[in-house]
Amino acid sequence: MEKRALRSSARLAAAQAAATSNTNPDNDKNTDTLQSTASSSASATAARHRALYKPNPLTSETAQEGITRRVKKDAQLRKLRREELVSAKRYKRSKETEELTGDEETVELEKEQIDSVQALLKSGKKSDKTDALKTLSDYLTSYNDSKDLQAMVTNGDFMKIIEGILTGTDAEEQLLAASVVTNMAAGGSAELCDAALSTAPHLIQFLDSQNIALVDQSAWALGNIAAEGPKLRDRLKDLGALPPLIKLLESKDLNLVQTVCFALSNMARGEGANQEELVKAGLLPSLLHHLRVDTDPAVISEAAWVIVYLTTGPDNISAQLLENRLIPLLVAPLKDFLDRKALAIPLIRALGNIASGPDNNTSALIHEPEFLPSMLQLIQSDCRPVKKESLWLMSNITADHASQDLIKVIEAGFIPVLSQIVTHQNFDIRKEAAYSLINLASHGPEYAKVLPHQELLPGFLDFMRTKDIELISLGLRYVQLLLNSGIAEAPTMLSEMNGVDALESVLVLSEDRDQHRLASLLMDTYFGENNNGSRVPTPIPGTPTPDHHNPGSDSNPQSTLDGDGSTALPPQYLKRASLSAAV
């Protein structure tokens, strides 16, 4: 049984997506494909039909075409990686900068302005120095892609000035310098982050300060540096950042706790994060304490982000968390987050990571009283990222083996809602709902028969007419399950809804050999040609007919869809990972 695994993508990417979730719902990449894909003519010749569905060799791309495609894909992945990385960081914005942020056209930063700031920094006057630090912090927020600005900031002389301020005695200047470092690390430039790293020993020392504002800003800067990637994150750990950060979770200042959770979540994220190191440093008691006693949604959300990354680590960490009643701690606040949009995402994602584990985890979630009612509302959220995360979680829930658990899901009213989503939403949302319905149907004919196939089938046939390999696979799997469900009218239903044309379109649009093979075998098994070359439904081997029911016959007939002639249809309960699970 295959499961959809853990999610650990960047935290603020979800918040940014939520901010734009009210865009035109008709904006979908596959719309043009559907509109442009014409159905095959019913009167086409037998030769054309055979050419489409018989397993002919695929036309191979040239070597140069393959190289070009891979280069383009790699560039897209690198761009996505950078966007996720930047979204995991936060700028320190002044009031003036926030007021200027809007639709106004950004004016290019002049080199004279940069030189002026640098001159003020070298001034012996305190007022000049503080003004320069404030201005520079704003410049790093608004003009982080300025080459001249980056050149000045990464210059060794500039960093000596910043480190001189940090090692000085003026608390105001230290706070402003820390905000400059925060925005340096937030800019997304590896050079800026490397320069910011040089200040890390001073920032870590400030974590023990009595100046709460300086402590908060230092933790913020360290969180941004850690978000740059494994190399800088591990360097911070080597410098001793973890113990003082974890100790700060004991603070009574909830704003500080929120910032510390942000920093710790970035310490726990990414490849080779070694989450066990955080656990051994004493993270869990203080972190779980905040989930138990705090009522501030922002603090709960930040603490949940740490949980998200911990639950992507070794299984023993998840086991410790579950032993400390993590599931009730995450489920209880859900009802209060229904209208909180992006703040709910870490709670949902952490629960999804738990559900992607053993089935006893899934069962524990289902039996938590508030879980299913809350999820039924969350999958209908008007916030796209929340809806998508919630549907991903439910797809892991429906992969549970236990029939009594699945019955609870069905009785809670999920099938009508999922069916509405899979037929009326955008393709990315429909895809998430499709996994849940297919998982339910994969548990056997008795589950497949409760689905409203007359409503669902057109939507899944739409999947098969796209060029998206995942959507095509879902469409084929649904058709496969429907035809093997023991529903006698299934082939006729498929034929009347132009299902044969959809299967043929897979052979035309898909470049995947396995999809070609499955589409051909479905057509060969369930549809035969008449004398005109048109395809007509044929009886399903072993399927009881309305006029002929043998009580002793198998109610779950299988097709010969395996290349070895086997009649077994392997269950496919799908638990999936995020594309950015290693981020």
Q: What is the pLDDT along the chain (583 residues), one digit of tens a residue?
A: 445 555 665 454 554 555 555 444 444 434 343 333 333 333 333 333 333 333 323 334 444 454 454 445 444 444 444 444 434 666 655 544 444 444 444 567 888 898 898 889 888 789 999 999 999 999 888 887 888 888 888 887 899 999 999 999 999 999 999 999 999 998 768 889 999 999 999 999 999 999 999 999 999 999 999 999 999 999 999 999 999 999 999 999 999 999 999 999 999 998 899 999 999 999 999 999 999 999 999 999 999 999 999 999 999 999 999 999 999 999 999 999 988 888 999 999 999 999 988 889 999 999 999 999 999 999 999 999 999 999 999 999 998 888 888 999 999 999 999 999 999 888 899 999 999 999 999 998 999 999 999 999 999 999 999 989 999 999 999 999 999 888 988 999 999 999 999 999 998 888 889 999 999 988 888 876 544 445 556 554 433 333 333 333 333 323 333 333 333 333 455 565 543 333 3
Has residue 38 been placed in a domain? no
Rg value, the chain, Cα: 28
On whether both 346 and 291 belong to a single domain, the answer is: yes
Has residue 207 been placed in a domain? yes
Number of domains in the chain: 3
What CATH number does the domain containing 4 carry?
1.25.10.10
On whether both 286 and 314 belong to a single domain, the answer is: yes
On whether both 433 and 356 belong to a single domain, the answer is: yes
Long-range Cβ pairs for the range 251-257 (8 Å, 24+): 253/212, 253/216, 254/294, 254/296, 254/299, 255/216, 256/212, 256/215, 256/216, 256/219, 257/290, 257/294, 257/299, 257/302
On whether both 431 and 465 belong to a single domain, the answer is: no
On whether both 533 and 581 belong to a single domain, the answer is: no
On whether both 165 and 244 belong to a single domain, the answer is: yes
On whether both 234 and 286 belong to a single domain, the answer is: no
Has residue 96 been placed in a domain? no
Has residue 439 been placed in a domain? yes
Crossing angle of helices 254-267 and 297-310, in 10° steps, is: 20
On whether both 472 and 561 belong to a single domain, the answer is: no
On whether both 159 and 202 belong to a single domain, the answer is: yes
Domain that holds residue 409: 1-19+275-444+556-583
The SS3 of residue 5 is coil
- Distance, in Å, from the CA atom of 302 to the CA atom of 320, rounded to the nearest integer, reads 20
On whether both 395 and 504 belong to a single domain, the answer is: no
Has residue 293 been placed in a domain? yes
Has residue 385 been placed in a domain? yes
On whether both 297 and 237 belong to a single domain, the answer is: no
Has residue 41 been placed in a domain? no
Has residue 107 been placed in a domain? no
On whether both 300 and 204 belong to a single domain, the answer is: no
- Distance, in Å, from the CA atom of 409 to the CA atom of 406, rounded to the nearest integer, reads 5
